[in-house]
Amino acid sequence: MKPPEEALTGTLRTDGTLELDAKPNLPPGRVRVVLQAVGEPEQQEENWWDYMQRTRRELEAMNYPTMTTAEVESYVEWLRGDDDRIEEAYRKAEEERRRRGHRPC
């Protein structure tokens, strides 16, 4: 006599657990589970760090030019070192507001 058998669908989670769509109609006890993919795999949402890592790998694979450590450090110092540039931008924005007749908030 063939043991009872039932086919169900469910979702295989990234941690390896299985979530069934319905409760099996089988008696309690040991079972044999055979998994078969149905349709396209679900796309997991990519967090920002995974996105950055993937993008970096893709750019490196294309030999896309990236900044060296020294170039990055030089650029950061350039950004930090010129407060006058920021003040000039604020001054120009304020002059433009006054020219148009707007008051500062």
Q: What is the pLDDT of residue 33?
A: 87
| Interval 21-57: pLDDT, tens | 999 998 889 988 888 888 776 677 888 998 999 999 9
Q: Is the pLDDT of residue 67 over 80?
A: yes
Q: Is the pLDDT of residue 78 over 90?
A: no
Q: Is the pLDDT of residue 105 over 70?
A: no
Q: Which residues pair with 12 in a beta bridge?
A: 18
Dist. CA 75–CA 73, nearest whole Å = 5
User: Mean pLDDT score of the chain, rounded to an integer?
Assistant: 85
